Amino acid sequence: MAQTAMAAEFITFPVGKTEVKLPISSLTDYVAEYSAWDRNFTAPLTVPATPAAQTPLLSIQDQDHVQKLLQTRYRLDPVAVQGLLKSPMIEAFLAQLGQAIQTEDRTNGAEAIQTALKRVTAKPQGFTLLELLEEFPGSQVRMDVLNTLELLVDAGTIIRQTEAVVDAIAQKSQIESNQGPKIDWTQQPDLRQPGQFLVTRKPLKLADSRRGGQLEADLYLPSSLEDPAWARGSIPVLVISHGLASDRSSFRQLAQHLASYGFAVVVPQHAGSDFPRLEALLKGDKTDFFDLEEFINRPLDVKEILDELETLNPTEFAGKLKLKQVGVFGHSFGGYTALALAGAPLNFDQLETDCNSAQSRVNPSLFLQCQALNLPRSTPNLIHLNSLPDQRIGAVFLLNPVNGSIFGKSGLSQVKVPVMMVGSSDDLLTPFVVEQAQSFTWLGASERYLVLKNNDHHFYDLTTQTSPRLSGVEGLISPAIQLTRGYVDALTVAFFGTYVAQKPNYKIYLGASYGQAIDQLPYDLLIIRSLGEAELSQLLDRVARRWRS
């Protein structure tokens, strides 16, 4: 491969008390020649330990993975990359990565990684990781092995902890199922199927004085709203808060499903952290994924829409909307929104501690949460923060929420309304152990449920229909997205039916046996009511000690 002027030719890393320089060209040869080797014999990727001997670096299986990784060609829009590199969240991530991948003078490699990315993304044919390394400025790339090993140990620890917690929850779920009532689910309505009502959609537009422009939302209603059978104040109201880089259209199916069961469902568009905002970032028109003020604006969006519905209720809806006990569904960043509305105050002390720890190595959501430390602490802003809770909120359903550090134990303990906390074992963005299981133990609510979608990941709104909007993410789509969406459809109807519509017949669906009745292997749906803070802490500590020893 042709070398750019002042581009790296070697990867340097310590082996024992010496340093080894591995020519990048040898990796190029390795990729080209590896498939021709008889892998029953000595593996080709070696480091010269002495002039007379060669030491294999990787097992045969690992070399298969490395070879495929190094062969893969990536194509990224250079304008989009330029925009992403301006983001404080990406800068924080690269600064951490740069502790392990350093420049030749042993300084943090963040800027050098940026330079290399800008160079390779300009290539119309795309690039491989080897070509990225070759574009690293300077004559060599230095690998801080100690930092890399710490990262690997941390990653291995949380993987083992997740496995242990999944096993513990599976056991608890089975016990709770055995102790609960015996129900013939074939004789019960299937909440995954649409309800009895047809659904209409009504667009809402409000003046958005905080951001400028308009605050837009979609209101989904049971189509028989004019039926005299609906008494005043009888139609329960729900709000769906989308996640970062999403939008209200991504939750249309869920909103329609809930409305078919007699709920009025409003889905606001959080303009400072939605999909158009991501598009603006990728075009270079914005410098981050979201506005810092979104930590305040998102809950205020919901409050203002509820205020508007209260104004419209007597005239537009004949007073039939029930706005004194509203349910909020929040996905990812929307989970933060829901908890802030439900009474959880921001915990800057906890956030400061976690953001200065090694937690972000295994919890990428901290790159988002830690941005809140840049919020002004002036009196007017603190007044805004203290005004986020809303007494109209009667229950919250949290799907893969961002929450653990920004609220901490002291913040989550102030949430007293019923909560269903849902996580996924394969969630890499908001890891289940720290962002759902641990947070669940801190909640102050007496009516609370912890739900685990085993072998599922973070995304709810990323499907084969929506992924074309953002190239390169097809591999993130769960093969069981429709199945696990069915889980969410059923549980939201049951949870909000119990605690917002206040229909006790729905509560039987909130137990472990229902999860067992509708799940399909390997996507177990585990539902439990009880998990103690000390119990979880002891389990995590035990696994960490065993893994690190």
CA 471 to chain centre: 19
CA 65 to chain centre: 26
Considering the domain architecture, whether residues 97 and 187 belong to the same structural domain is answered as: no
| Residue 235 vs residue 39, higher pLDDT | 235
* Whether the predicted pLDDT of 480 surpasses 80: no
Helix (H, G, I), strand (E, B) or coil at 160: helix
Residue 528 neighbours by CB distance under 10 Å: 24
Does residue 122 lie within any of the structural domains? Answer: yes
* Whether the predicted pLDDT of 474 surpasses 60: no
Instruction: Give CA–CA dist 235/213, Å, rounded.
Output: 30
- Looking at 143, 170, 190, the residue that finishes a domain is 143
Of 425, 523, 500, 461, give the one whose Cα is nearest residue 160.
Answer: 425
Can you tell me the mean pLDDT for 481-495? Answer: 95
The dihedral built from the CA positions of residue 164, 243, 358 and 376, taken in this order, carries a sign that is negative
- Per-residue pLDDT, 42: 39
Does residue 350 lie within any of the structural domains? Answer: yes
- Structural domain harbouring 111: 10-143
- Per-residue pLDDT, 103: 86
Instruction: Give CA–CA dist 29/382, Å, rounded.
Output: 59
| Residue 369 vs residue 91, higher pLDDT | 369
Give the burial class of 481: count Cβ atoms within 10 A of its Cβ; 0-12 exposed, 13-18 middle, 19 or more buried.
middle
Q: Which of 48-57, 193-202, 225-234, 512-521 has the lowest mean pLDDT?
A: 48-57
Q: What is the pLDDT of residues 88-102, one digit of tens each?
A: 888 888 888 888 888
* Whether the predicted pLDDT of 492 surpasses 60: yes
- Per-residue pLDDT, 138: 85
Does residue 75 lie within any of the structural domains? Answer: yes
Of 373, 364, 422, 414, give the one whose Cα is nearest residue 398.
Answer: 422
Considering the domain architecture, whether residues 298 and 364 belong to the same structural domain is answered as: yes
Considering the domain architecture, whether residues 352 and 394 belong to the same structural domain is answered as: yes
Can you tell me the mean pLDDT for 278-293? Answer: 90
Q: pTM for the full model?
A: 0.85
Considering the domain architecture, whether residues 67 and 171 belong to the same structural domain is answered as: no
Does residue 82 lie within any of the structural domains? Answer: yes
Strand bridging mode 101-102 / 53-56: unpaired
At 7, the pLDDT band (50, 70, 90 cuts) reads: confident
Does residue 476 lie within any of the structural domains? Answer: yes
- Per-residue pLDDT, 311: 97
Instruction: Give CA–CA dist 354/385, Å, rounded.
Output: 20
Give, to the nearest 10 degrees, the angle between helix 348-355 and helix 404-412: 140
Q: Which of 41-55, 152-166, 215-229, 331-345 has the lowest mean pLDDT?
A: 41-55
- Per-residue pLDDT, 464: 43
Does residue 309 lie within any of the structural domains? Answer: yes
Q: How many CA atoms lie within 13 A of 498 on its CB side?
A: 22
At 60, the pLDDT band (50, 70, 90 cuts) reads: low
Q: What is the pLDDT of residues 167-208, one digit of tens each?
A: 999 999 999 999 999 999 999 999 999 999 999 999 999 998
Considering the domain architecture, whether residues 173 and 311 belong to the same structural domain is answered as: yes
Q: Which of 108-117, 225-234, 309-318, 432-441 has the lowest mean pLDDT?
A: 225-234
Does residue 198 lie within any of the structural domains? Answer: yes
Of 231, 233, 250, give the one whose Cα is nearest residue 241.
Answer: 250
Does residue 2 lie within any of the structural domains? Answer: no
For the chain, the average pLDDT equals: 87
% of the chain with per-residue pLDDT over 70: 87
- Per-residue pLDDT, 65: 60
Considering the domain architecture, whether residues 131 and 257 belong to the same structural domain is answered as: no
* Whether the predicted pLDDT of 52 surpasses 60: no
Considering the domain architecture, whether residues 450 and 375 belong to the same structural domain is answered as: yes
Q: What is the CATH number of the domain that holds 207?
A: 3.40.50.1820
At 447, the pLDDT band (50, 70, 90 cuts) reads: very high
Can you tell me the mean pLDDT for 333-349? Answer: 97
Q: Which H or E run includes 259?
A: helix 252-259
- Per-residue pLDDT, 6: 63
* Whether the predicted pLDDT of 86 surpasses 90: no
* Whether the predicted pLDDT of 407 surpasses 50: yes
- Per-residue pLDDT, 204: 97
Q: What is the pLDDT of residues 312-331, one digit of tens each?
A: 999 999 999 999 999 999 99
Q: Which H or E run includes 512?
A: helix 512-518
Considering the domain architecture, whether residues 465 and 525 belong to the same structural domain is answered as: yes
Can you tell me the mean pLDDT for 251-256? Answer: 97
Considering the domain architecture, whether residues 232 and 117 belong to the same structural domain is answered as: no
* Whether the predicted pLDDT of 347 surpasses 50: yes
- Per-residue pLDDT, 505: 96
Helix (H, G, I), strand (E, B) or coil at 176: helix
| Residue 29 vs residue 283, higher pLDDT | 283
* Whether the predicted pLDDT of 472 surpasses 50: no
- Per-residue pLDDT, 46: 47
Total number of domains constituting the chain = 2
At 77, the pLDDT band (50, 70, 90 cuts) reads: confident
Considering the domain architecture, whether residues 186 and 101 belong to the same structural domain is answered as: no
Considering the domain architecture, whether residues 61 and 137 belong to the same structural domain is answered as: yes
Considering the domain architecture, whether residues 317 and 442 belong to the same structural domain is answered as: yes
